Amino acid sequence: MRIKLVFSCEKNIILPIGFNEAIQGLIYRLINDKWLHNEGFVFDKYKFKMFVFSEILEKGHFNKEANYFVFPPKISIIVSSPVDWILQDLAKNALFSKVLNLHKNKIILKEVAVLPKRQFTGNCVIVKTLSPIEVHTTFMKNGIKKTHYYSAYDNEFSILINENLNKKWSSLYKKNCPYELQIIPIGKNKEKIVRFGMNGKSIIIKGWVGFLKLQSQNEFIRFAIDAGLGSRNSQGFGMVEFVRENDENNK
């Protein structure tokens, strides 16, 4: 399930570098569920919030002198989840909210729409990213914690996405995941560097954007699209959108 939220402001919307944190905070406030925020869906030592959101769909520009982003007065995002009640709470609370805060911007909800499920019957589809997909590993080097981000063309990219999806599946359905997802970049995927976090407490994250071929059982492809690919989904990474089914000529 996925919903589109459209917000408006009386003037251009100004957001600092790392503003995904502000969007994440807005979503948590609208869901208004302490269990999801503090605990979530648990598998082993891992906790999943089980939602993912897109980049702001409207194009903004970066003011280099002032060091912030400027977006038009009307912006929209898409939020997706395999758990219907999460989006139902989000939509309901958004509708009853009069004025919302997005960083220092006073915004109001103009529209909330439940997006129709894209129908596909096969086991191979083409998707495009609506926010960068990131997968990484961490390790210690000389006593310092390091993070390595993987390219969409690395073998580890698909392996780590599958490991992550399997844990999400197990945390939600309380059983081992029997599926595996094959992920193949289509055309030229590009690296995108994003800073997450504001007020001097930010991290630099490397993700990948472009088109991908996903091949697996139909049920698992739908789950992957709803839940998001890779890590940090609830921070605005790994959202994809169904484009079309893959035909024989594109396999």
* CA dihedral of 211, 214, 219, 225, whole degrees rounded to 10: -30
Residue 118 and residue 222: Cα distance in Å, rounded?
10
200 within a domain of the structure (yes/no): yes
- Position 137 pLDDT exceeds 90: yes
Boundary-marking domain end, from 114, 132, 153: 114
CATH at 59: 3.30.70.1890
Please give the tally of structural domains in the chain: 2
pLDDT greater at residue 15 or residue 119: 15
CATH at 133: 3.30.70.1900
pLDDT in tens, 176-221: 999 999 999 999 999 999 999 987 788 999 999 999 999 999 999 9
Q: Any bridge partners for residue 4, and if so which?
A: 78, 113
pLDDT band, residue 110 (cuts 50/70/90): very high
As a whole number, the mean pLDDT across the chain is 94
Q: Domain containing 95: what range?
A: 2-114
Which token pair is 174? 């309380």
119 within a domain of the structure (yes/no): no
Do 84 and 175 share a domain, yes or no? no
φ, ψ of residue 138 in degrees (nearest 5)? -120, 150
Q: Any bridge partners for residue 247, and if so which?
A: none
